[in-house]
A and B are shown apart, each in its own frame.
Chain A
Amino acid sequence: MPRHPLVSKYASLAAVRDRLPRRPAALGFELADRRVLAVLAVALLLWPFFGSNYWINVAVVVLSYVVLALGLNVVIGFAGLLDLGYAAFYAVGAYLSAILITTYGWNLWICLPVSASAAAVFGVLIGYPTLRLRGDYLAIVTIGFGEITRITINNLTGVTGGPNGVVGIPRPELLGVTFAGPIHFYYLLLALAVVAVFLTNRLAHSRVGRAWTYLREDHVAAEVMGVNAQRFKLLAFGFGASWAGLAGAIFSSRIGIAAPESFTFFESILIVVIIVIGGMGSIPGVIAGAVAMIIVPEILRPLLTYRFLIFGIVLILVMRFRPEGFIPARRLRVRLPAGGVGPEADA
């Protein structure tokens, strides 16, 4: 992506200010080149017609993790809150939706917003006492809450079915189409991922996203600049959790069961790893991370259990040689309206 015409020196700052449009349609916050996006969109929409069921299934898993990682990226990447218990929100969405569908006869489409809201509320409830902690302390407490959630689900046999889980979730239906094969879930999750990219990108480049990043960069300075830390951290936590709620609801409907072993600490760590190797705070990075973390082990499958060894080595190499991730986060660039301001001599 070419560097935008930028204004550099103090000498030309007045010119920059005078050239800023009153109401800029875009001040240069584009995710990527529109043509690249168009080609990508067509490819993503059409390839399943030519792909095998196996690879569509892999893509469905990739997309689930894209949604989960984009949600957690708001918490870890934008706001810098190391949440290692994200699977708890995933579980809340999956179980709530599973129970509402099997016991109360709801359908998935009503369960989606309900699960998202419930996960967000759960996030705020857990966040309220814990977000006073910072850094490693927050990480440890979130591990604790993640495990508490899983163990509670495992033991609340009357509601959750205990270790057996909630079984017999019927296949969802939309406009007369029954979601029988992976291709239906592919398009559902693709749509959800696109919405997640759109929303998190808009937030990242707004007053809210900047407040999150100020908190990440320097908590005290952010508060002194007027950022209400507790409020913005709860917002990040709740908003991030809502994506896990959505992904969870779709997950349990897709595999037809909600069981405790799907929501272990390992699940939380996997999503964190996706964000770290992809590029913390970077939306394209997180997508690349999810693709890599799911597809690479699939490609290595012929190597049987050795694939995890190789996978581990790959992760170590990535962190050694590209610690900022595959696609590092970029900061705001000021793009001026056509014409720009040429480089002026230093005053």
Chain B
Amino acid sequence: MNAVAVADAAPDQELLQVSDLTCRFGGLTAVEGLTFSLRVSEITSLIGPNGAGKTTVFNALTGIVRPVRGRVTLGETQITGRPPHAVTYAGIARTFQNIRLFSEMTVLENAMAGQHCRSRAGFVESILRTRRQQAEEAAVIREAIEALRLVELRADLDQMAWTLAYGEKRRLEIARAVASHPRLLLLDEPAAGMNRQETKTLMEVIRRVRDTGVTILLIEHQMRLVMDISDTVLVMDQGRLISAGPPAVVQRDPLVINAYLGPDLDDG
């Protein structure tokens, strides 16, 4: 299912390049001169204290927020300033910090949303219900089911999304994103509010998605998960990138400790 993602993925190749990304809201600079890149099929975590600008980075990458400066390149495609739907077509999918499912639609329909950008039946074809349109609908359903399998969602396909348990909603959101066959998957606090068992399942799901060739960038506050799952950790504070590297290195970076715990008073 991930032919799209794997096609141009030699190991160690960079998938996403962000340079000098800057976002302002009025006088407030939320993100300042952010530069980083993500390697294909790696899991990268973006961490930092509250208000560091992590979600703004996600919004800028997906076209919800327009950066005032900087470039974002996905593979060979320049996506800076493109509208959200165009970014999805280019191959970035995301989940939201505060779950945003289509509540009054079924589990299956939610997962099918991912395939919107990979199918093309328009007004006329939908009315005529052509052979091609019917084959496409069947394929969309198949892909949606495939994505639900990947996240191990054990719910009725025709159950309304709002009736799901919290952890199931999170996984349905991931399934919806995965169903779009993204090259890059952005997860905004996927483990927020989950208990230990749910977090464990989630980590398996994330690894499994990665193993299909998808590059993953996640915002997370649960350090156990971050240190366990990440190949690389990026640390932001007050809109800037203050540290980047493998988990073990970042963990010992004095700048990071300072950002999280405040300056060491003993050192004066």
Contacts and interface: CB of A to CB of B under 8 A. Distances in A.
Contact of A207 (B64, B84, B126, B148): B126
Contact of B142 (A17, A207, A229): A17
Given A213-B102, A225-B116, A225-B180, A220 B64 contact: yes
B83 interface: yes
Interface of B: 62, 64, 83-85, 88-89, 93-94, 96, 100-106, 108-109, 112-114, 116-117, 119-123, 126-127, 129, 131, 133-138, 140-142, 145-146, 148-149, 152-158, 160, 176, 180
B127 A21 contact: no
Nearest to B135: A23
B158 A13 contact: no
B127 A203 contact: yes
Interface in A194-209: 199, 202-203, 206-209
A332 B109 contact: yes
B157 A221 contact: no
A138 B83 CA distance: 22
Nearest to B62: A224
Contact of A334 (B83, B101, B123, B158): B158
Contacts of B152: 10
A224 B127 contact: no
Interface in A7-29: 7-11, 13-14, 16-17, 20-25, 27
A235 B127 CA distance: 13
A301 interface: no
B233 to A, nearest CB: 25
A136 interface: no
Given A22-B138, A207-B121, A331-B106, 5 more contacts: A20-B142, A207-B137, A210-B116, A226-B180, A331-B104
Contacts of A331: 104-106, 109, 158, 160
B185 to A, nearest CB: 12
A8 B156 contact: yes
Question: Which bracket fits the contact residues of A?
Answer: 35 or more
Contact of B117 (A221, A226, A332): A226
Among A13, A27, A199, A229, which residue has the most Cβ atoms of chain B within 10 A?
Answer: A13
B127 to A, nearest CB: 5
A273 to B, nearest CB: 21
Contacts of A202: 126-127, 129
Contacts of A221: 96, 100-102, 113
B133 A206 contact: yes
Interface string A227-271: 111000001000100000000000000000000000000000000
A333 B152 CA distance: 21
A222 B101 CA distance: 9
Contacts of A210: 105, 109, 112-113, 116
B123 A235 contact: yes
B206 to A, nearest CB: 18
Contacts of B119: 207
B142 A208 contact: no
B145 A16 contact: yes
